[in-house]
Amino acid sequence: MTPPKQPLKILMLHGYTQSGTLFYNKTRALAKHLQKSFPLHDITFSYPTGPLRLNPADIPGYEKTTDASSDDHAEIEAYGWWRRSNTSDPPEYLGLENGLDSVAKVLRTEGPFDGVIGFSQGAALAAMVASLLEQPSRKEAFRYFSDAKTASEGFDLPPSAATTGVKGIEFPESFESEVVSHPPLKFALCYSGFRAPGPRYRGFYEHPAIQTPVLHVLGSLDSVVEESRSRALIEACAGEPEKEGKVVWHPGGHFLPSQRTYLDAAVLFIRKCLEGQTDKGKEAEESVEDMDVPF
């Protein structure tokens, strides 16, 4: 008698201007490769859509048309998890609490999940979600940075904020343990990910660093997310991610690579996380070398 397959549930978080449906189509190669590579698991993917519906003018690179028959205010199927304020200094994510709340609802209704995969803004969100589920230490981190002086230390603030400092945001209510009873994630994959900027969001990343194993997949020609922002997220993860084989570069731009090399890198990483292995030492070096992954 064939033993039942072990469930493996993965939360999929789309990028800014995308949707759950679009991200489903963009990640078919990855999803199929994972299903093929884990024959003893019953893998399911959840593709929620961000709560923020975007207007054409919200889309980067949008140009207003001169065609009188078109409607520049027409609704489009483009969504986000938050908006970055164009006026706040230091930067602020408007609607972040709504984005986190929408993910928390999925965790409650469809979880528990083993891991999360995100792209761009969804990758930034994936790191946040992984961090928030690291209780109780993460809640203590948010409390620690609620002090404006502590949160602002080391940041070059504008004159308007330099005197009083900028305090960190409060721990999101939607992730309180009595609201979301969910264990820490076993893994997170961040494609073109980045760290939220400024003092407000230090609770996600410091005191302590993110403990959940994270694989960072970055494009060497990415012109959308600056390398420094991606490296800031890498540095927010515990250990030495680059030395441990948790940073993979592909020779492309701002997209999720579907070539076999990078699909294999995702499989290897998830397998090690599920087996409870660390990526340290000789074994990890040999595994990465065998896959011919460019760094």
Structure token pair of residue 285: 């070096």
Give the distance, in angstroms, between the CA of residue 242 and the centroid of all CA atoms in the same chain.
18
Report DSSP letters for 120-168, one per residue. THHHHHHHHHHHHTSTTHHHHHHHHTTSHHHHHTT----HHHHTT--PP
120 annotated active-site = yes
Pick the catalytic residue from 19, 120, 174, 287: 120
| Integer Rg of the chain from CA | 19
254 annotated active-site = yes
Pick the catalytic residue from 101, 146, 254, 258: 254
C-alpha pair distances (Å), 181 with each of 20, 94, 203, 243 = 24, 26, 20, 33
52: Cβ–Cβ under 8 A, 6 or more apart, which residues? Answer: 79, 80, 81, 82, 83, 95, 98, 99
Positions annotated as catalytic residues are 120, 222, 254
